[in-house]
Amino acid sequence: SSSSFRLLVKNATQVVLVCRNGEKYLTRNGMQTLAVVENGSVVIGHDGLIKAVGSAEIIESQFKGATFDNVLDASGMCVLPGLVDAHTHPVWAGDRVHEFAMKLAGATYMEVHEAGGGIHFTVAHTRSATQQHLLAALQSRLERMMRAGTTLVECKSGYGLEMDTELKMLRVIHAARQSLPIEISATYCGAHAVPKGKTMEEATQDIVAVQLPKIKELMASGDLQVDNIDVFCEKGVFDLNSTRCILQAGKDMGLNINFHGDELHPMNSAHLGAELGALAISHLEEVTDDGIAAMANAKTSAVLLPTTAYILKLSPPRARDMLDAGVIVALGSDFNPNAYCCSMPMVMHLACVMMKMSMPEALAASTINAAYALNRSQTHGSLETGKQGDLVIINAPRWEHLVYQFGGHQELIRYVIIKGEIVYE
């Protein structure tokens, strides 16, 4: 053939496809053994999509005579799908290093929050920050995520708690999307906390009757692209009724439901999510067995966040029970001023050690299932022909090194590729 392509990655020791039959998600059995090609190659076209993936020998003969803009010899290396981070809060000013000290000294998350710290501290700083400052901070965090192998990331607003700052955050996410290669799924999380000076009912009313209609208008004119709606459904934050009201209003304007539930107290969030057809519920440290069954039934994925359980010393989410019940389990970093972690390899490592997931399960949860949680699993999350050419290439003879090693991933991750372009080497 005399055709030309963007990239050939050849002779990798292992190419981890994750799945090979167009699955939109994997549950326990599918997660336990992932599709892996020994000695494989990948071809990515000028449209950024995968044209071929499989045995190096077969691809070499199929593409004899073809030209490539770029050829990477991956001998001794492993190729994995770009990682998907299904839950982050990356737009904010003012860090909370002082609160880390308070928590180490024994304060709980809710004690800090109720004393006016936590989310409220970050809200005060984010309200007074300029859009340029927030954008620069977001860009540098997204760069760090990319260097750790993340190629698609969910990004929430939620440190405004009033319209102008929420819109400022969504605009910053929109600008990052246009200036960086990493792909973003944007989430409106105006119900992240009840703002000081308002009741929960007033905050709910403001979101449903004022903020969401404004966002709808900005989406229609192309000024904003928002994908998901989120609420922090928690005792002392938004109760089940307010949560239902906000999520339903978001769903009515075409947003995917993806919210925080059952983290510190059992709230029946899982039942609500299943009933509303939520794509994902995050946290779930306190979910009940019935809630797990409802999620499995509704194909509502569970986005588990081991960094949060780790830093707040919560009992970790019951990943094994969820997997046994057939729930679609995904992972996220939950990057935020409480859990300052940009690295999905670190998250996978924690998921294995703290939540008893296997390495293949952790990888499936950070690729195809995380893509499902963001409604992108038709195009992302596995290395299959026709999907987007997003790859992580590691300098190790087995892919499991990405999970086994913790910290120092700069030395391990050799290339990160998005749509066939090298974005980090």
Residues that bind ligand NIG in the complex, under the rule CB under 6 A: 89, 118-119, 122, 232, 260, 263, 308, 334, 336-338
Residue 300 partner contact from Fe ion, ligand NIG, none using kind-dependent CB cut-offs of 5 to 8 Å: none
Tokens of 22: 């167009």
Burial of 353: CB neighbours in 10 Å, binned 0-12, 13-18, 19+: middle
Which residue's Cβ lies closest to Fe ion? 334
Q: How far is the CB of 158 from Fe ion (least distance, A)?
A: 8
Residue 261 CB partners (closer than 8 Å, separation 6+): 233, 234, 243, 267, 269, 270, 272, 273, 281, 282, 283, 284, 287
Q: Which residue is at the shortest CB distance from ligand NIG?
A: 338
Nearer to Fe ion, 258 or 382 (CB): 258
Report the C-alpha gap between 215 and 62 in whole angstroms.
Answer: 49
Instruction: Give the residue with the Cβ less far from ligand NIG, 118 or 420.
Output: 118
Nearer to Fe ion, 25 or 159 (CB): 159
The closest alpha carbon to 328, from 286, 272, 284, 288, belongs to 284
In the complex, the smallest distance separating the C-beta of residue 122 from ligand NIG, rounded to whole angstroms, is 5
- Provide, for the chain, the percentages of residues in helix, strand and coil under a 3-state DSSP scheme, each rounded to the nearest 5: 40, 25, 35
| From ligand NIG, Fe ion, none, interface partner of 119 (C-beta below 5 to 8 A by class) | ligand NIG
From the list ligand NIG, Fe ion, none, partner contacted by residue 118 (C-beta under 5 to 8 A by kind): ligand NIG
Q: Which of ligand NIG, Fe ion, none interacts with 380 (beta carbon under 5 to 8 A by kind)?
A: none
Query: At its nearest, how many Å lie between ligand NIG and the CB of residue 189?
Result: 8
CB of 139 to ligand NIG, least distance (A): 20
Of 161 and 391, nearer to ligand NIG (C-beta) is 161
Residue recorded with tokens 């934050």: 237
Question: What residues contact residue 392 under an 8 Å CB cut-off, 6+ apart?
Answer: 79, 80, 81, 82, 83, 149, 151, 402, 413, 415, 416, 417
Q: Could you tell me if 174 and 185 are in contact, meaning their C-beta atoms sit under 8 angstroms apart?
A: no
Q: Which does 367 bind (CB under 5 to 8 A by kind): Fe ion, ligand NIG, none?
A: none
Identify which of residues 232 and 415 has a Cβ nearer to ligand NIG in the complex.
232
Give the other-Cβ count within 10 Å of 61's Cβ.
9
Contact of 201 with 241, CB cutoff 8 Å: no
Q: How far is the CB of 373 from ligand NIG (least distance, A)?
A: 14
Query: Is the Cβ of residue 341 or residue 417 nearer to ligand NIG in the bound state?
Result: 341
Question: Which of 304/393 has CB closer to Fe ion?
Answer: 304
221 contact partners, CB below 8 Å, separation of at least 6 = none
Residue 287 C-alpha from the chain's centroid = 20
Kindly state the smallest distance separating residue 277's Cβ from Fe ion, in Å: 21
Closest distance of CB 45 from ligand NIG, Å: 38
Rg for the chain, CA atoms, rounded: 21
Nearer to ligand NIG, 342 or 412 (CB): 342
With the CA atoms of 41, 18, 225 and 282 taken in that order, what torsion angle do they form, in degrees rounded to the nearest 10? -150
| Window 323-342: residues binding Fe ion (CB under 5 A) | 334
Judged by beta carbon, residue 301 or residue 308, the one nearer ligand NIG is: 308
Of Fe ion, ligand NIG, none, which one does residue 387 interact with (CB within 5 to 8 Å by kind)? none
Number of residues that bind Fe ion (CB under 5 A): 1
Please give the Cα distance from 371 to 377 (Å, whole number): 5
- Least Å distance, CB 257 to ligand NIG, is 16
Find the shortest distance in angstroms from Cβ 351 to ligand NIG.
Answer: 16
Regarding beta strands 280-283 and 301-304, do their DSSP bridges make them parallel or antiparallel, or are they unpaired?
parallel
Residue numbers at the binding site for Fe ion (CB under 5 A): 334
